[in-house]
């Protein structure tokens, strides 16, 4: 089966949302592969019941934020029934204040899915037509143009409002490869623009879907990256003819750190079937820490990712609405459920952990280019007349410096705004964006490590001795980057290795525990 066949099958598949069981993997499939979305009947029933409830409570004269009262500093202003449509339209207009660059179509789809699933919990009181519009836009490939900057992370209101513009037939969308007016795209699919009613606009704009949708994509990318990092490291260990004892299973039974154990198991699996596991290493007691501690460093990032993903799954399957409709109690309750500090700081931790993955990869490349550690030519040159990879060190260390900068926490940097009513925030979209940038930089750094490892293996002429997983990684590197036999421009090689890492190398060796 080729890649096109796989993509067509995914686009034809259906994922049913119910508000409770959306996984990170499912969100990524909908965002990246065009899977169709359906809504469970039970979830739609909750939405309808909540919508009926808020109308009943409003009729009783109960003040409800965003329904019969204003929002933000204007929470003291009364909104009467004859003002509903104008008030909700103006709320969408006034909150559309984000700035570029624009999100990719995949990111927009992730945002739409994230918000749609939380709406299905029935905690907003939104009209059922809203959730159907989210579904129809996803299935029709109508993607509102979303600027990615402008949210402080206490509800992504200045960004998500642009989705509201598209829903009422205004603003711009990406549709079938072109940027067109929302009205044109809706008409092409027989979808009528929404007429906004009470609390509709607040439900559209007031959530953390920009942050959580993109966090899901980032988490999925981070997991693939760490699997790739384990595979590239195993290849580097083969290239160094390094010591394998630090990765023995028994060591991780007496120190049972889940992430480190998984990484070490991946390394063992990649080395399986090769000569390195059988080499006499009695004289090779210890390698540099960049090799010896690789599984512990990669494992730290795995542990951070596991923690962040656990909290993110809660976010994707729970209400972050204010006020929150409690159907069973028939109440609408002011809340701070939009606060995402708990998983924002978890992603800050992940970013810091990934900076260690970057640093240790750079040190491995430096060691592979040093004759004292490899016994090979300086900078892995095939002969003394060749300069080889000396200058490449500047490239990967400069990228690591950028990663170090990006790993600095930003969630504690916020202002008190909205007339001093909103005096806490997290800058969550920026936290996720910079973590995603770290991952992209790491594709380059791991690609350059793989180039070094493959070159060292060629100089040793040890291709036939590699483990099964390492042999597969080596072959993929050599499919895009040829051995260096004389000096040539290295940027094309670096770019080719980056693209391979970004697409994801095929992993023959996997965790055995």
CA–CA separation, 155 and 125 (whole Å): 18
CA–CA separation, 68 and 75 (whole Å): 9
Residues 346/222, Cβ–Cβ less than 8 Å: no
DSSP string spanning 224-289? HHHHHHHHHHHHHHHHHT---GGG-HHHHHHS--HHHHHHHHHHHHHHTTSSGGGS--TT-----H
Tokens of 134: 């989210």
Whether 3-207 shares its CATH topology with 215-322+337-503 is answered no
Q: Could you tell me which of 257, 277, 281, 280 has the C-alpha nearest to residue 269?
A: 277
DSSP string spanning 308-325? HHHHHHHHHTS---SSEE
User: One digit per residue, pLDDT tens: the chain, 513 residues?
Assistant: 444 454 445 456 899 999 999 999 999 999 998 899 999 999 999 999 999 998 888 888 787 777 777 676 667 677 777 777 888 898 899 999 999 999 999 999 999 999 999 999 999 999 999 999 999 999 999 999 999 999 988 889 999 999 999 999 999 999 999 999 999 999 999 999 999 988 899 899 999 999 999 999 999 999 999 999 999 999 999 999 999 999 999 999 999 999 999 999 999 999 999 999 888 766 677 899 999 999 999 999 999 999 999 999 999 999 998 888 999 999 988 888 899 999 999 999 999 999 999 999 999 999 999 999 999 999 999 999 999 999 999 999 999 999 999 999 999 988 887 878 788 889 999 999 999 999 999 999 999 999 999 999 999 999 999 999 999 999 999 999 999 999 999 999 999 999 999 998 888 645 443
The structure's pTM equals: 0.93
Preceding peptide of 115 cis, ω within 30°: no
Contacts of 2 (CB under 8 A, 6+ apart): none
| Fold of the domain spanning 215-322+337-503 | Fumarase C; Chain A, domain 2 (1.20.200)
3-state DSSP call for residue 291? helix
| Res 77: pLDDT | 77
Buried/exposed code over 362-376 (b: 16+ C-beta within 10 A; e: otherwise): bbbbbbbbeeebbeb
Q: Could you tell me which of 338, 267, 352, 266 has the C-alpha nearest to residue 308?
A: 352
Spell out the domain ranges in the chain.
3-207, 215-322+337-503
Tokens of 408: 């600095």
| Res 513: pLDDT | 38
Tokens of 260: 């480190």
CA–CA separation, 211 and 117 (whole Å): 14
Residues 230/197, Cβ–Cβ less than 8 Å: no
CATH 3.30.70.920 fits 3-207, yes or no: no
| Res 141: pLDDT | 97
Can you tell me which residue has the tokens 């490349």? 365
């Amino acid at each position: 089966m080729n890649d096109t066949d796989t993509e067509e099958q995914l686009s034809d598949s259906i994922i049913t949302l119910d508000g409770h069981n959306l996984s990170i993997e499912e969100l990524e499939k909908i965002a990246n592969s065009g899977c169709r979305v359906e809504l469970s009947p039970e979830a739609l029933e909750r939405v309808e019941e909540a919508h009926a409830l808020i109308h009943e409570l409003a009729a009783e004269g109960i003040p409800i934020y965003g329904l019969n009262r204003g929002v933000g500093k204007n929470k003291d202003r009364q909104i009467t029934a004859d003002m509903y449509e104008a008030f909700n339209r103006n709320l969408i207009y006034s909150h559309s204040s984000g700035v570029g660059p624009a999100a990719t179509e995949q990111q927009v789809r992730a945002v739409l899915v994230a918000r749609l699933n939380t709406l299905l919990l029935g905690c907003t009181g939104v009209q059922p037509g809203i959730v159907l519009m989210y579904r129809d836009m996803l299935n029709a490939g109508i993607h509102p143009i979303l600027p990615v900057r402008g949210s402080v992370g206490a509800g992504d209101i200045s960004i998500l409002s642009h989705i509201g513009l598209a829903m009422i037939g205004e603003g711009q969308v990406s549709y079938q490869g072109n940027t067109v007016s929302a009205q044109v795209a809706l008409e092409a699919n027989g979808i009528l623009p929404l007429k906004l009613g009470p609390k509709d606009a607040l439900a559209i704009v007031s959530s953390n879907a920009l942050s959580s949708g993109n966090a899901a994509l980032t988490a999925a990318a981070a997991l693939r990256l760490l699997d790739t990092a384990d595979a590239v490291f195993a290849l580097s260990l083969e290239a160094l003819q390094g010591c394998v004892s630090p990765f023995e299973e028994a060591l991780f039974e007496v120190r049972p750190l889940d992430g480190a154990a998984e990484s070490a198991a991946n390394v063992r699996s990649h080395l399986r079937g090769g000569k390195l596991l059988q080499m006499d290493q009695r004289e090779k007691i210890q390698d540099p820490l960049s090799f010896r501690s690789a599984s512990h460093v990669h494992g730290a990032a795995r542990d951070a990712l596991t923690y962040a993903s656990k909290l993110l799954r809660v976010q994707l399957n729970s209400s972050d609405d204010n006020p929150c409709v409690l159907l069973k109690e028939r109440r609408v309750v002011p809340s701070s459920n939009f606060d995402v500090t708990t998983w924002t700081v978890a992603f800050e931790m992940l970013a810091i952990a990934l900076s260690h993955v970057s640093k240790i990869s750079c040190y491995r490349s430096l060691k592979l280019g040093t004759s004292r550690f490899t016994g090979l030519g300086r900078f892995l040159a095939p002969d003394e007349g060749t300069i080889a990879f000396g200058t490449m060190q500047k490239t990967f260390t400069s990228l690591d410096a950028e990663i170090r900068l990006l790993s600095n926490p930003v969630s504690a940097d916020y202002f008190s705004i909205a007339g001093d009513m909103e005096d806490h925030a997290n800058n969550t979209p920026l936290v996720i964006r910079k973590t995603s940038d770290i991952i992209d930089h790491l594709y380059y750094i791991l690609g350059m490590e793989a180039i070094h490892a493959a070159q060292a293996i060629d100089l040793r002429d040890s291709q036939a001795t590699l483990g099964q997983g390492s042999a597969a990684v080596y072959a993929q590197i050599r499919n895009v980057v040829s051995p260096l036999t004389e000096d040539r421009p290295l940027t094309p090689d670096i770019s080719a290795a980056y693209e391979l890492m970004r697409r994801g190398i095929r992993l023959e060796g996997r965790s055995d525990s």
